[in-house]
């Protein structure tokens, strides 16, 4: 079974229908995890980033924000990874990847033996091969 680490922008596009094509792709990815076709790996930092973005950019607060976080951390077929190997992150950031969050996702993906990372960030996706990872989309 393929193991796919998921970037925050995928979940934001799932919860907030901001781009129809990205929303459909995110839905299909999450459905694949629910159907047991892939194992979806969610770094803990992604949970924090999703909560921050939907709250600060889209005004989602209170019970609705709690629903987003609960959904994100309990989708069938997903595994939230609380462990982050900071030595690995600091070996990637800031020289190879300028984004700390992206570096965390790569470090978690490598530590959990993921095959790919699902992201809508093309600049990030284009650098994944440097780490032996594929872009899911």
Supply the pLDDT for residue 90.
98
SS3 98: coil
The answer to whether the CB of 96 falls within 8 A of the CB of 127 is: yes
Whole-model pTM: value is: 0.96
CB proximity list for 46: less than 8 A, separation 6 or greater: 6, 7, 8, 11, 101, 105
Average pLDDT, the chain: 97
How far is Cα 116 from Cα 118, in angstroms, rounded to an integer? 7
Which pair of tokens denotes residue 74?
């309990």
How far is Cα 43 from Cα 102, in angstroms, rounded to an integer? 10
Q: What is the DSSP letter of 130?
A: G
User: What percent of the chain clears pLDDT 90, i.e. is strictly above it?
Assistant: 99
Strands 116-118 and 78-81: unpaired
Rg value, the chain, Cα: 14
With residues binned 3-state (H G I as helix, E B as strand, rest as coil), the percentages for the chain, rounded to 5, are 55, 15, 30
Confidence of residue 134 (pLDDT cuts 50, 70, 90): very high
């Amino acid at each position: 079974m393929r193991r796919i680490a998921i970037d925050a922008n995928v979940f934001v596009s799932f919860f907030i229908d901001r781009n129809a094509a990205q929303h459909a792709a995110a839905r299909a990815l999450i459905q694949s995890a629910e159907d047991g076709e892939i194992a979806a790996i969610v770094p803990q930092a992604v949970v924090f980033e999703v909560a921050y973005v939907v709250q600060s950019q889209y005004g989602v607060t209170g019970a609705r924000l709690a629903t987003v976080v609960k959904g994100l951390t309990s989708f069938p077929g997903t595994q939230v990874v609380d462990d982050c190997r900071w030595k690995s992150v600091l070996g990637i950031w800031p020289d190879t990847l300028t984004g700390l969050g992206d570096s965390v996702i790569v470090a978690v993906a490598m530590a959990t033996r993921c095959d790919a990372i699902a992201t809508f960030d093309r600049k990030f996706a284009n650098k994944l091969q440097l780490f032996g990872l594929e872009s899911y989309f």
